[in-house]
Structure 1
């Protein structure tokens, strides 16, 4: 039996504590907040998207950074294992669109309560309002923690599960990166991820609040395509957001972080070819042949988008549609299929779902999550340089790495 200290009472820390305690260890969690799972509470808009019920290939495909590192832990504790764990613990789940798994109650608090009940049954001791200041090692092995009040806590093993830098109000302030660095670990460049993106064009604030469904969004670095997907997006006062953009941010963050500007091309009518769309626009013009251009396109766009598309078309808004030339019409059709925006920068950590970057995974054993540099030190969750798309994939990383760390301490 070992004494195990876990820094951070989020998803990864709680999960690690359960499996470390199941091995008969004495387990302590140090949590700087007044309660456990503060970030877990707000995930999935308060409903908690526990995992994703996809096949394993899809699971790996949704990991953006270092998916190979996740091979052992994903197979060691799969998405089905997560579902089984919660259902066996008395929390029924349901599967929704995109294979997203939620508690049937739609309350993230029930997920936290389920974990807390398991921890209590196993005798896990939780120390609230307790800030860890330092993780100390001696002779290449974990030695003790130093708390904010200066006291030392010695133990056999330590799991760093502090999260990243996103949602800092929940306590994720990058402490784990400092602990890891002080032990000799490399911290890769960190940045917000799964976050809205700012744009340059001055017409964008006019579209604030407009949600576009069933559009194709493609992002280019020069002529090179770096992201393309179909779905829903949202305009804001500063740029773009919504599911499509949040996913795209995971792929474009590095480039935007280096000061590059990227081109976002939105296809407003992806179900139609340019020829089909031209025929549709021609039909609209014929049905409204005596109307001015600005009043003849109402059925093509949401109301907020009409004045912007009319202005961008270069066609005189007062022009009667029956005298619009074929070239003008085709240019307008091209615009509908290629609405261009300039992406300038990501929003900051306050709006980010996760942090990209963290403890370099080459310095961590992928099967056990133990540090390759310091015996008895383990990592779990967002503190690692692993990140994924939305849909339950980041929580799956937390569960799988938490399980790997906790279950490998005896």
Structure 2
């Protein structure tokens, strides 16, 4: 029976919010889950291209290290719900998982709807009250602690509120940064917010001629003095306006803050699996020697896809109808250089409109990592993307959402 008085109110029905609600209910709490959209799990539905990459096969230590210096913040949450216990949780609610590539873990259906339906069924089975189309306007405080929430037309009372509102990415899926505003109004600091895990646009237009090909194990670096140590490795995909693929989605979290500062971010991309200039030169000479009738385009195409080789030859003014040894010395040298360090200039990104995650959020210094509880306001908890912690592609962010939601739901 629905009431306006609850032990726990959870705001947001992504992975973090739904599992927080389930966990809190299993602790015997009377739980209300509030969602501003007409249905649960909108952002979850889009995760992993709709396939829902739940987690991955890394050990807990490797998993946390992948988040950088803030990764240790996850220790309690990950220890309580790691990849194995997450898979067991889903198995217990009727979802089998698999890992076809030995790394990423998906539901066997490779369909995010499977996850959403199973979680919703579990919420209903446990008796969690669910109110959709309820947009929380403010968090209520009585005597320096949480006392409830106010929506557009109702007031719900509770001594505990879990904020699981996500970030700013994909506003069409309900992401408007509400959680940041709630936290800020109650005295929490919000770090600078940037779109992350998204494609980028380049100044160079030649990339549009290479959209049919993928560069495996590309090494991407930022050609700025203060960012020389930053790099990422992974598959690179060309688009009609720029770059995408796992390596760019991961690296975009480093690029977007620099874009805001410099307007342009120069990249250097090694598209030959890390080979240096000497190695590339020897490979080309060997191929040319073994194939005496081959031209420079044929030689370069053994290292990169032909569409890319053609564009790079044009950039360095190589005559693609002539052999490598028939090019002048400067052209040969420049071709070797551009194969090992291809310059591209990022001038824009798709922004929050299509960013899968947000870099930044509620500062971790103000959240207890052993409970997910606010250090500022009693009865206030955070979980998932609303906090200043984001990871690379490959199930990292969703595992963190589930783990942090589970920990918050324990109300320790």
TM-score norm. by structure 1 comes to 0.92
Question: Displacement, 1:308?
Answer: 1.2
Aligned counterpart, 1:160: 163
* Alignment partners' CA distance in 1, 2:42 and 2:148: 26
Aligned counterpart, 1:141: 145
Moved over 6 A (4+): none
1:110-149 paired onto structure 2 within 5 Å: 110-149=114-153
Task: From 6, 9, 16, give the equivalent of 1:5.
Answer: 9
Aligned counterpart, 2:378: 375
SS of alignment partner, residue 262 of structure 2: coil
1:8-27 paired onto structure 2 within 5 Å: 8-27=12-31
Asked whether the 8 Å contact 2:272–2:304 carries over to 1, the reply is no
* Alignment partners' CA distance in 2, 1:145 and 1:319: 73
Please say if 1:315 is aligned against 2:318: yes
Q: 1:315 to 1:223 in 2, by over 3 A?
A: farther
Please say if 1:48 is aligned against 2:52: yes
Asked whether the 8 Å contact 2:188–2:362 carries over to 1, the reply is yes
Please say if 1:108 is aligned against 2:80: no
* Alignment partners' CA distance in 2, 1:30 and 1:214: 43
* Alignment partners' CA distance in 1, 2:186 and 2:230: 37
* Alignment partners' CA distance in 2, 1:366 and 1:293: 57
Q: 1:328 to 1:84 in 2, by over 3 A?
A: same
SS of alignment partner, residue 342 of structure 1: strand
Please say if 1:278 is aligned against 2:281: yes
* Alignment partners' CA distance in 1, 2:188 and 2:286: 64
Asked whether the 8 Å contact 1:185–1:360 carries over to 2, the reply is yes
Q: 1:391 to 1:300 in 2, by over 3 A?
A: closer
Q: 1:345 to 1:66 in 2, by over 3 A?
A: farther
Higher mean C-alpha displacement, 87-96 vs 351-360: 87-96
Question: Displacement, 1:318?
Answer: 5.3
Please say if 1:88 is aligned against 2:92: yes
* Alignment partners' CA distance in 2, 1:219 and 1:295: 30
* Alignment partners' CA distance in 2, 1:36 and 1:313: 53
1:250-261 paired onto structure 2 within 5 Å: 250-259=253-262, 261=264
Q: 1:229 to 1:144 in 2, by over 3 A?
A: closer
Please say if 1:77 is aligned against 2:81: yes
* Alignment partners' CA distance in 2, 1:6 and 1:291: 66
Aligned counterpart, 2:70: 66
Question: Displacement, 1:209?
Answer: 4.7
Aligned counterpart, 2:180: 177
Asked whether the 8 Å contact 1:60–1:67 carries over to 2, the reply is yes
Question: Displacement, 1:90?
Answer: 2.1
CA offsets per residue over residues 383-410 of structure 1, 9 Å max, x none?
111111111110111111111111126x
* Alignment partners' CA distance in 1, 2:294 and 2:93: 65
* Alignment partners' CA distance in 1, 2:85 and 2:386: 23
* Alignment partners' CA distance in 2, 1:263 and 1:82: 40
* Alignment partners' CA distance in 2, 1:354 and 1:297: 37
Q: 1:318 to 1:364 in 2, by over 3 A?
A: same
* Alignment partners' CA distance in 2, 1:98 and 1:391: 12
Aligned counterpart, 1:238: 241
The root-mean-square deviation of aligned C-alpha atoms, in Å, is 2.3
Q: 1:304 to 1:36 in 2, by over 3 A?
A: same
* Alignment partners' CA distance in 1, 2:176 and 2:80: 29
Q: 1:321 to 1:387 in 2, by over 3 A?
A: closer
Aligned counterpart, 1:265: 268
